[in-house]
Amino acid sequence: MDNYKSILLLKLPYCTHPDSLSRDDDFRTISTFRPIPSLALATLCAFLDKYKTYDYSLKAFDINIEAYTTPEAPIETSLYMKLLTNYIKNNEYDVLALSAMFVFTTKWVDTVVKLSRKHHPKAKIIIGGGYPTLFPERCLKENGVDDIVIGEGESTLLHILNKYNNHKDAGFEKRFPFQGYASKNTKDEVVIVPRTHSLDLENLPHPAWNYLNVEKYFKNSGDKKLPIEASRGCPYSCNYCCTYLAWGKSVRYKPVENMIKEIEEQGERYNKPIICFVDDNMSFSKKWITHFLTQLISKNLSLDASASNFCVKHLDEEVIDLLVRAGVKVFGIAVESGSPQMQKHIRKNVNFDKVREVVKIMKSKNLHVHICWMIGFPNETLQQVNSTIGFARELRAHSNQFMTVLPYPGTKLFEEAKSNDLLMSPDDGLDKYDNRKCDYLKSDEWNSNQLQEMGYDANIELNFLNNPCLDTAEGRESILKRFEDLLLTLPEHIILHICVGYINKLKNNSVDYEKHYKAAERLFKNQPLYNTFIKYLSWDFNIINDFVKYLKANNKEIECPF
Ligand code: B12
């Protein structure tokens, strides 16, 4: 009998696959990000270590954190193909367990499955993460993997490994039902076993970061971010969201003592990393969050933390205050739409006065406020899209993310769009299933390019040219650091260069001021960059006016079509 003892867990790249890049790709459509280590891999490894009763050996590789070479250099995603090829070729394993977080990762799945079948023809391939959770059947049939894990993966992965080895563990099977997977039966038909039971988070050991090259990532990125989750699940029914497919609808929390121990352990091991809470709705239970934060504060850990995805319904001055005292410096809230009709339609039902109040409190406590917005819902009018941008303008958060709506199968929004014949039915594959390349919904009022442009313009205006941080010397200092960091990912972003040049000018740093203005001027000679950025030179903002004055003073000509 074959043995499947040696397991390699591999996090696939979440940048665009080189074969998916099209000639139309520009700043608005390429993926730009600074990866952080994979919590999925650390969590899965920890669970296997704790509950395995068979002699498995584990290895994990998060390719995303390998792309940093030095803190000063741009992220080298072009290395990924070579890294993957060498890694698969040079490592022995019996089971390859792939983590594919996003749907557009599908081409990377193809690449790795082919490499694995070539170099390790006997090895089994399992896949889990957001992509197989949303498209289990497609992933099984077209990517050619052996087994799929749907949603929460810890116990299901161990069940599948035990199945491969004909290993029976009655205690484990009783405690954790074997659910949430898809595989093919002997007739080659796809069988999906849904999940009715979620993990009790008390049973989750602390993430096993020792399996990943976290120190190398800290050193090479100059960043010390580590993700942490306190809870899973969301009870709301926002019609565009697919998170319930992975985590279910009831909110489960880790015990407060476990959270505190996990944070203390990470702090000691990695010398005070930046803790990033990635929960979908951490403050849902006021009782839990106040207890947790009070305990955390009493430990005096002087944390540096960020927290994303808060729903304003569960934020008030008391909770915000505790978060601040616990060390949270960056807050993400999801408002999504500035149109009251859309709020109702998408079943988000956020109260705008409550949003105003929460943002005001956060700003008064010097927090960095980040707001997520969505534009282009089915049947959304241009006026409603503009209300969203208008509301963002009114709130003046320190950063905003404008995403075009992408209808995920399994959501009410997808069903609604389908039954109203509003789906574009793309035939160019799932690698384009990406918010940045949206061409998925039909509308009489807008097309995807127009929407993309509106979102991008709002981004340029609110995140760069009229960012509230520019108003004070202290704010400029903090935003300069963020902008310089962003330049590592986007070295050709002309507006970013102009902003960095301008802030340096205000600081009387003439060397960096000229360096960045010159870089902007030089980049305008590149036609695609010129096409993306030239229109912003006609906008009336201090930063732009100063750059235009600089060009005139130096007799530099940039041809403007207006
Ligand atoms: C942190 C985060 C990021 C980080 C990623 C950092 C990292 N190293 O992981 C960053 C900031 C880069 C990011 C970016 C984006 N993100 Co994001 N992100 C998250 C977030 C908040 C937490 C992820 C996480 O760590 N969860 C905890 C871990 C434990 O869960 P997990 O990764 O899902 O793993 C579990 C299961 O999926 C499964 N599993 C996973 N892998 C494997 C492998 C095997 C073998 C098995 C068996 C099981 C398994 O088991 C794990 C344990 O239960 C989630 C929301 C959420 N709550 O999950 C959104 C989320 C994943 N992001 C989302 C989106 C849309 C994006 C963006 C596309 C947004 C955008 N338009 O820019 C970008 C894309 C990235 C890019 N190329 O630019 C969506 C994904 C939808 C989808 N399925 O495609 C999510 C679900 C948010 C949402 N509700 O819409 N994101």
Q: Which of 35-39, 362-366, 422-426 has the lowest mean pLDDT?
A: 422-426
pTM as predicted: 0.94
Q: Once rounded to an integer, what is the mean pLDDT over residues 524-532? A: 92
CA of 497 from ligand 1 middle (Å) equals: 30
Atom of ligand 1 nearest to the CA of 131: 83
CA of 44 from ligand 1 middle (Å) equals: 14
- Please give the single-letter amino acid code of residue 60: A
Q: Which one of 278, 370, 451 would you pick to mutate in the ligand 1 pocket, going by the greatest count of ligand atoms within 8 A of its CB?
A: 278
**Ligand 1 residue neighbourhood (C-beta within 6 Å):** 14-15, 31, 33, 35-40, 43-44, 97-99, 101-103, 126-130, 134, 149, 152-154, 157, 227, 229, 241, 243, 246, 278, 280, 308, 403, 435-436
CA of 338 from ligand 1 middle (Å) equals: 26
Q: Which of 149-163, 308-322, 389-403, 545-559 has the lowest mean pLDDT?
A: 545-559
Q: Any residues with CB less than 8 A from the CB of 251 and at least 6 apart, and which? A: 231, 232, 233, 234, 235, 281, 284, 285
Residue 562 is predicted with a pLDDT of 54
CA of 63 from ligand 1 middle (Å) equals: 15
Q: Whose CA is nearest to atom 70 of ligand 1?
A: 435
End-to-end CA distance of the chain, in Å? 74
Residue 318 is predicted with a pLDDT of 97
Atom of ligand 1 nearest to the CA of 44: 52
CA of 278 from ligand 1 middle (Å) equals: 9
Q: Once rounded to an integer, what is the mean pLDDT over residues 520-524? A: 96
Residue 161 is predicted with a pLDDT of 98
Residue 556 has pLDDT above 90, yes or no: no
Atom of ligand 1 nearest to the CA of 199: 53
Q: Whose CA is nearest to atom 86 of ligand 1?
A: 243
Q: Any residues with CB less than 8 A from the CB of 91 and at least 6 apart, and which? A: 8, 59
Atom of ligand 1 nearest to the CA of 130: 83
Residue 431 has pLDDT above 90, yes or no: no
CA of 129 from ligand 1 middle (Å) equals: 8
Structure confidence by residue, pLDDT tens digits, 277-301:
999 989 999 999 999 999 999 999 9
Tell me how far CA of residue 430 lies from CA of 21, 146, 173, 240, 435, in angstroms: 13, 20, 35, 18, 12
Q: Any residues with CB less than 8 A from the CB of 490 and at least 6 apart, and which? A: 27, 32, 496
Structure confidence by residue, pLDDT tens digits, 298-331:
999 989 999 988 889 999 999 999 999 999 999 9
In terms of Cβ atoms closer than 10 Å to its own Cβ (0-12, 13-18, 19+), residue 252 is middle
Q: Which stretches of 265-321 are assigned E, i.e. beta strand?
A: 274-277, 304-310
- Provide the pLDDT confidence category of residue 558 given band limits of 50, 70 and 90: confident
Structure confidence by residue, pLDDT tens digits, 128-153:
999 999 999 999 999 999 999 999 99
Q: Once rounded to an integer, what is the mean pLDDT over residues 465-471? A: 97
CA of 241 from ligand 1 middle (Å) equals: 13
